[in-house]
Chains A and B, each alone.
Chain A
Amino acid sequence: MSKKAFTFISRTAPYGSNRPKMSLDAALATAVFEQEVNYLFMDDGVYQLLANQNGEPIQAKTLGNALETLDLYGIDEVCVDYESLQKRNLEACDLAVPVTLLDATQMRALINRSDFVINL
């Protein structure tokens, strides 16, 4: 079976809903199938990547810790919409993992060349 390119887009903040966890689980499951997996964070989704998170006071698992292991599980590229970061007064150095910053044109190119785009 040939390798396909999957892009997962996560747009919601880390602790208000279980959508970020759904994205993560689906991306990890796809990586198990040895497919190309790209993970794009947009809008409030960029907060998922913030360094020094602690979910304990609200009885939640710290999502940032899980995201730090993405490269170990075969996620090829972790991308962030640069404009979403800027709007929230954040920079790449505020994030827990090294990311590729994309502008609108680059995001369009990524989505265009993906066989599957899963928006959660």
Chain B
Amino acid sequence: MTAYQFARNLLDQGHDIYRVFFYGDGVFTLNALAVSPQDEINLPQAWHQLIESHEIESIACVSSAISRGIINTREAERHEKDSVSLFESSDIAGLGQLVDAALQSDRLISFG
């Protein structure tokens, strides 16, 4: 939630987000199958909308994601699963994307 609010405020203030990288349990934030109680924010849905509306590159760490059942069509086929749980606005890739993002950006901000 802190990361989401921070990201939203960054964008409101005119900063650019080069990439959001979800690692460890953070990948659950990209679970498209999550449902929240009606009077609470659905954090995965909120992230999805933010990512989509600002065309932010969003990556779930591959080993974190597949071990937690956060998979897209490509990983579902590769591992012979019949469901998909990752929002289409995000992709699955390796830790190199985290390092690359650090090297390409002014700042690396981590949460959690």
Query: Are B23 and A29 closer than 8 Å at their CB atoms?
Result: no
Q: Which residues of B contact A22 (CB under 8 A)?
A: 23-24, 64
Complex interface bits, A2-28 against B, C-beta within 8 A gives 1, otherwise 0: 001010000000000011001001100
User: Which residues in chain A, 75-120, are within 8 Å of chain B measured between CB atoms?
Assistant: 115-116, 118-120
Query: Are A25 and B95 closer than 8 Å at their CB atoms?
Result: yes
Query: What's the dominant secondary structure at chain A's contact region?
Result: mixed
Query: What's the dominant secondary structure at chain B's contact region?
Result: helix
**Interface residues of A, CB < 8 Å — how many?**
18
A33 to B13, CA, bound (A): 32
A116-B108, A118-B108, A118-B110 given as contacts; is B23 within 8 A of A26 (CB)?
A: yes
Query: Are A33 and B96 closer than 8 Å at their CB atoms?
Result: yes
A33 to B96, CA, bound (A): 8
Q: Which residues of A contact B108 (CB under 8 A)?
A: 116, 118
A35-B99, A116-B102 given as contacts; is B94 within 8 A of A29 (CB)?
A: yes
A22-B24, A116-B108, A119-B110 given as contacts; is B102 within 8 A of A29 (CB)?
A: no
Which B positions have Cβ atoms within 8 angstroms of A?
23-24, 63-64, 94-96, 98-100, 102-103, 108, 110
